Each structure stands twice: as C-alpha cells, then as structure tokens.
Structure 1
Amino acid sequence: MSIPRRLRMERLQERASVSPLELFFDLVFVFALTRVTDLMSEDPSGVNLLRATLVLAVLWWAWVGYAWLWNLVKADEGVAAVVLFSAMGAVFVTALTIPEAFDDMPGGLNGPVVFALGYFVVRLLHLTMMWIVSADDPQLRGQVRRFVPSMLAGTVCLLVASQLEGGAQLALWALALVGDYLGTFVGGARWRLNSVSHFAERHGLIVIVALGESIVAIGIGVAALPISWAIVVASLLGLAVSGLLWWAYFDVTSLAVEHACEAASGSRLIKLAQHCYTYAHLPMVVGIVMMSLGLKKVLSYVADGNHHRLVDPLYGWPLVALLGGAALYLLALVYFKAYATGTVAYPRLVTAAALAALIPVLWHLPALVTLAVLLAVLAAMTAFEMIRFAEPREEIRHH
C-alpha cells in the first residue's frame, strides 16, 4: 500500500536552510534552559551545579539527535512534522519536571520517573524515525543498529536513578551519559549529512538560544523592581558580555568551521560534524547557562535598594559559574575551531586561563566590579583578535 502524498517525507537538499518548524521546536528548549537556571539559582551549591550540568547534557543529547535527523529529511514535510510535534510534547513534559529530576516533590506523579520516561519517549521517536529514514540505506541502517544499545542503556540508567538518591543517583546519571557519548563515539562515522549549511545554522541557532537565556536571566531578576542607575549599568554590562560571547562564535569561528566542513567529505565530514558540533557545542551551552546564573545573582545584588548590597562581593559558586562559565565557553570554541582547521586560538586560551585565575582575586570585590572586569577581559580579547588577525578575518568573512 502506497503512502499518502501528504504523509511522505522529503530529502533535505544540500543548501537547505533551517525551517520555521525547527525554530518552533527550539522554543521548548528555551523553556528548558530557563528551568535549569532556576534549578541552580534556588540553591547555587556545587551539587546543584553538577545536577544542572547533568540535566543539560541529557537535554543536549535529546536535541542533537534531531539536528542529525532533520538534516536527512525536511522537518516540516509529511510524517516528519507529526514526529517533531510529538517530540516537542515529550521534551516539554521533561522540562516541566526539571526541578524534580532528582528530588520528587510531595504529591502528584513521581518527578524523576516522569523525567526519565519523557526522555525515553524523545529518544524512541528519534530512533524510530532514523530507522524509517534508513530503510533504503544499508550503511545508515547499520549505524542506527549500533546506536540502539547505548540509547537503551542510557535510558535504563536514568530510570534506575529515579529510584535512588544522593551519590548513587548522580553516579547513575553520569553512567547514562557516559554510555550515550561513548556509544556514539565508538559506534563509527557512517552517519549521513546532507547539508553542511543547514547543520551549521542549526547549531548556531542553539547558541543564540542559550545566549538568549543569559539575557532573560538578566531581565527576570529585576523585572518587578523600580528602575535605578545600578540596574541600568549592570544590565548593560551583562548584555555587553553576552554580545561579546556572540561575537566570539559568529564573527569568524563559526564561518571557518563551516568552510572546513564544506571542504570535507565521507567519514572526515562526519567526524568533523561529531566533534565540532555534537561534542563541542555542549560545553558551550553549559558555559553560557552557568554564566547566566552569575549574571542573575549580580542583578539581584544591585537591584536591592540597600546601599550595602551594592558593595557586597559576588562569591562562592555564583562567582565560579560567572567566570568559569565564560572560560568554559571559550575553551569549547578553541576546540571547535582547532579540530576543524588545525588552528589553535591562543588568545582565547590565555583569556580562559586569566578568567579562572581571577576567581580568587575578585572574591572580595563588589559584584558590579566583577561583572565590569569580566566585560573588560572579553573586550580586550576581542580587540586583540580583530587587530592581530585582521587579514585572515577579512578572508574568511568576505572571500
């Protein structure tokens, strides 16, 4: 029996762009990132930052699978659109349970179990679609088969972890992620990538989503308070920091990596896509979300009408998240570009090291000063790169 025309899938073309439906799909991840930031800000302890990182890694693995899938077939055509909406629902339910992903709240359903089941549905829908898409492609079908064990193992670990607590629970979460990532890493490079431009654009958009969360974190903390000069200054400083992180990714680096991918083919292209996008973008997103926690705490300090709060230092884990998150983002960018082009961005390595070294120095300085120092360091790095690498920048951007 033939498939009705309206349900048929269409192959994604080589120079395709991201569809509006894929952008709509990302909205649930915007919500999920805000929930992760809320999880950290309620109790900014080391354990909560670790939990947030684990949740982000799980969400990332859910998102990135669909980035590969929609590079094979159009997301807004036929049955693919139905699957996308179904996956959106599963991700949204999963995001709703993020505050209960580790500790179940009194009453209602069991939060950790619902989180694990939502994740399972997301992965199952993805795997089913990949199986259908690979029907006429023995090489891809074989790759999907090798992917199944790690997917099942990761989901089972999360389900078991939902019945545990404390260190055992965290260990099972970590094991689930290690199984997923190692399973994919050793599973081979026989996937398919139809459009480099679509894949690069897709990951660039998720970086914008994460940076958007950093801006939301700035605004939410002061939305219900009367405007003041301290709020204006801190908000603009935070926005400028987010802008410089945007610049570090989009001005040259993303273009250089995309060009390297376009020049590659076969297994080399798949390895570039895996390392530069699937693997390197996770620490970028984690770094941005961690930095968002620090920005939110800085704004909560300066928004307080108490004069003494203006001179109170940002310390502890929020300070580590602010500077360490920015440093992690830069290190991920270094790997992102180095793996694709063989060029190491030493100014970014130096900047990341400087930000880490500044953590104990800024521990006792006012929060607003800490934010200003972060901005100054990032601005200095950006200015140096633009002057020192002016010619390569011109070549990449315009030729």
Structure 2
Amino acid sequence: MTFAHRLRPRLVQERESVSTLELFFDLVFVFAITRVTDFMADDPTGVNLLRGSLVIAVLWWSWVGYAWICNLVRADEGVVRVVMFGAMGGVFITALTIPEAFDDLAGGLDGPVVFALGYFVVRALHLLMFWVISRDDPQLRGQVLRFTPSMLIGTTCLLIASQLTGTAQTVMWFLALAGDYIGTLIGGTGWRLRSVAHFAERHGLIIIVALGESIVSIGIGVADLPISWAIIVASLLGLAVSGLLWWSYFDVTSLAVEHAFERATGARQIQIARNCYSFLHLPMVIGVVMLSLGLKKILSYVGDGNHHRLTDPLYGWPLIALFGGAALYLLALVWFKAYATGSVTVPRVVAAVILLALIPLAWHVPALATLGILTAVLLALIGFEMIRYDEPRDRIRHAHP
C-alpha cells in the first residue's frame, strides 16, 4: 500500500455510525462550552451573557462544518484524520482564549487576535478539506465556491472585531456571524449527504455534550464543599432538569425528525439538514449553557453553609438564564420538529411561556425553590406528553418510517 493510498479519504457508508475520532473531536468542544459557562458565571451581566452567546455561535459554526465533512468521508481515515487533529488544535487554542475573546488581559499575546486567528485556522482547514473531496463532484465544488465568500466575510469581520472595543466590537461580531449564517442560508442546497442516520446521530451526541455541561456545572458548584441535605436536594433536582431536557429531545422528537429526514429527497433533505440540524441546534446548545449558568449559581447558594443564604432568591441575569435557557431549548425543539414534520408541539410552547412568566415570581423565592419550580414545570410537561401522545409516541419509537 503506497503512502498516497493511505492518505486517500474513504467515503462514509449509508448507515455509518459516528466514529471514535469524531467523539474525540467533540472533547475540545466540551472544554470550550465549559469555558463559556465559566466566563459568564464570573460576571453574569447582560453584556457577558450576550458575549457568551456570540462565542457559542462562533464555536458552533466551527463544529457544524466538520459534521458535514464527516458525513461524506470518514473522519478516521486518510488525510481527513490529520485535518481533524489540526482543527482540534485550532478549536482548543480558541477555547483557551475565550476569557480574552473581547478584552485582552495584561501580558502575553493579544487575546482577541489569537481567538480570531484560531477560528480562521479551523475554518480554513474545513474549506480546504471540502475542496479536496469535491474534486470529482462538480456540483459540490460549485457549492463550495458559493460558500467561500461567507467564510471569508465571517473570519474577516472577526479579525476586525479583535481590533475594536465596546459597541463597535459587538457589531462586528454580529456581522461576522451574519456573514457565516446568512451566507450559508442563501448559498444554495448543492451540498451532499451520504448518511442521514449518521448526521442525526452526530447532532444528537452534541446535545449530550451540552447536557453534560449542565451536570458538570452542578458538580463543580459544590465540588469542594462538605455534603449537606441542601446540596443533595439541589443536585438531584438539577440532574432531574438535565434528564427531562434529554427526554424532551431523545424520547420522540429526534426520532420523528429523523424519520422525516430519511423520507425527504433532493433539496428538501439538504434543507432539513441545514435548518433543523445546523441552524436550530444552536439555540438548543445556547439554552443548555444558559441553564448551566443558573444551575451553577444555585448550587453555590445552597452549598454556602450559611443558613441565611439558603433563603436568598436567585435573581437578575442568572435567574433569567435559568428559566430563559430552558424556555429557549423547548422553543427550539418545537421549531426543529415543526420544520421537518409540519407538526407544532403546543404543550412545549405553553411550557416555555409559563417559564418566562414565572421569572418575576421566582425572583422572590429561595433559590432552591426556584429550581424546584423549574423541575416541576418540566416534569408536568413530560408527564402530560407521555399520556396525551401515548399512541403516536409508541408508533414513532417502535415503527420504521
């Protein structure tokens, strides 16, 4: 076997499972999400929550590009493996720089510039890999060429943002994301998919990664504190919230969308992949990260050891992040399913509205009670859906599309 043959990409098969290298690749995103949560938790102001969301959107677009590549060629074969490790390095350096993504810290390199350059490297490797694998596919090569300007606009705006401060800097971040996201939206549907099951599984696993961050936030919040009944109750309630969010995605919704995804053909299939998975999974991830921020703050309250602290309410932006994050996640799930299947899950819209309406009330109750309220609303939602949609749920879970 020649060296050139060893470097040759291998095509993904129709029912291919996610490779171990793709799971390894996700580890740097686990770290990045943790860094974003810590960045927002250190100073949970509205500005920092906005900045954290912008960073997640940039990181998400880095991840999305490789999800599409690895649906065409195996991540663990040939030159693709080398590119994946190179991209991991770029994402990891970008994640290390998250605390300095907007404001450079004293000493060392210029943080915002390093962040922007790390993103550029990740996107450039992604584009180069697409160029290589499209050499025998004129339609895909044309799609890559139409996509290139949006990539250049996004990375250029981010580099410009690294030289600015304040409102001007934030505006350039929005322009960077607009270049990427809107450019992709209007760039056509000439992309390729080789395995619907692989693509759906890949995005389901990244939701697991995000939910894992919510569990990590619970543990980190009390890691160095002596165990108490308040910590036990808060930890179990936080774990229940994460579990209920898992249930809301994986029990039926992801399967219903995947079935519609498999039935679709041509441009419609690419539209579902782009809109349901590449676009609508972003607000789900942002919602879970916001929720993680609220959970981390609640655990710091109940683990304080001060009896007075147990009665203190969770208020301000951490409270908005807790309830608003859960509501955002539910609404994104509704849109995710509605776009693919045409069915709107009304109870989830109602639950999201209730969570948002409860924020003023929760502002005045103990933090632990606030977590109990959130758990109760989600539990009521899942319980209602289990009873109300029992027959269609059974059909979706146990019948092939």
How many residues matched?
A: 398
**1:34 corresponds to which residue?**
34
**2:281 corresponds to which residue?**
281
Q: Does 1:396 align with 2:401?
A: no
* TM-score, normalised with respect to structure 1: 0.99
Output the CA distance in 1 between the equivalents of 2:305 and 2:265. 59
**2:44 corresponds to which residue?**
44
**Superposition pairs of residues 133-148 of structure 1, within 5 angstroms:** 133-148=133-148
Superposed CA deviations along residues 152-204 of structure 1, whole A, max 9, x for unmatched, are 01101011100111111000000100111110000001100000000000000
Question: Gapped runs of 5+ residues in structure 1?
Answer: none
Name the aligned partner's letter for residue 344 of structure 2. V
Superposed CA deviations along residues 29-70 of structure 1, whole A, max 9, x for unmatched, are 000000000110000000000000000000000000000000
Superposed CA deviations along residues 79-126 of structure 1, whole A, max 9, x for unmatched, are 000000010000000000000000000000000000000000000000
Name the aligned partner's letter for residue 385 of structure 2. E
Output the CA distance in 1 between the equivalents of 2:218 and 2:371. 12
Output the CA distance in 2 between the equivalents of 1:12 and 1:265. 18
Name the aligned partner's letter for residue 336 of structure 1. F
Output the CA distance in 1 between the equivalents of 2:192 and 2:3. 24
**1:106 corresponds to which residue?**
106
1:106 counterpart SS class: coil
**1:331 corresponds to which residue?**
331
**1:153 corresponds to which residue?**
153
**Superposition pairs of residues 110-129 of structure 1, within 5 angstroms:** 110-129=110-129
Q: Does 1:66 align with 2:66?
A: yes
The Cα shift of 1:234 comes to 0.2
1:374 counterpart SS class: helix
The ranges of structure 1 where at least 4 consecutive aligned residues each deviate by more than 4 angstroms after the TM superposition are none
Question: Gapped runs of 5+ residues in structure 2?
Answer: none
**1:217 corresponds to which residue?**
217
The Cα shift of 1:265 comes to 1.1
Output the CA distance in 2 between the equivalents of 1:362 and 1:169. 34
**1:257 corresponds to which residue?**
257
The Cα shift of 1:4 comes to 1.9
**1:163 corresponds to which residue?**
163
Name the aligned partner's letter for residue 164 of structure 1. L
Name the aligned partner's letter for residue 72 of structure 2. L
Q: Does 1:304 align with 2:304?
A: yes
Output the CA distance in 1 between the equivalents of 2:388 and 2:45. 40
* TM-score, normalised with respect to structure 2: 0.99
The Cα shift of 1:375 comes to 0.2
**1:382 corresponds to which residue?**
382
The Cα shift of 1:148 comes to 0.5
**1:180 corresponds to which residue?**
180
Output the CA distance in 1 between the equivalents of 2:78 and 2:139. 24
**Superposition pairs of residues 174-253 of structure 1, within 5 angstroms:** 174-253=174-253
The Cα shift of 1:5 comes to 1.9
Name the aligned partner's letter for residue 264 of structure 1. A
The Cα shift of 1:3 comes to 6.2
Identity of aligned residues (%): 73
Name the aligned partner's letter for residue 91 of structure 1. V
Superposed CA deviations along residues 239-264 of structure 1, whole A, max 9, x for unmatched, are 00000000000000000000001001
The Cα shift of 1:17 comes to 0.4
**1:81 corresponds to which residue?**
81
2:134 counterpart SS class: helix
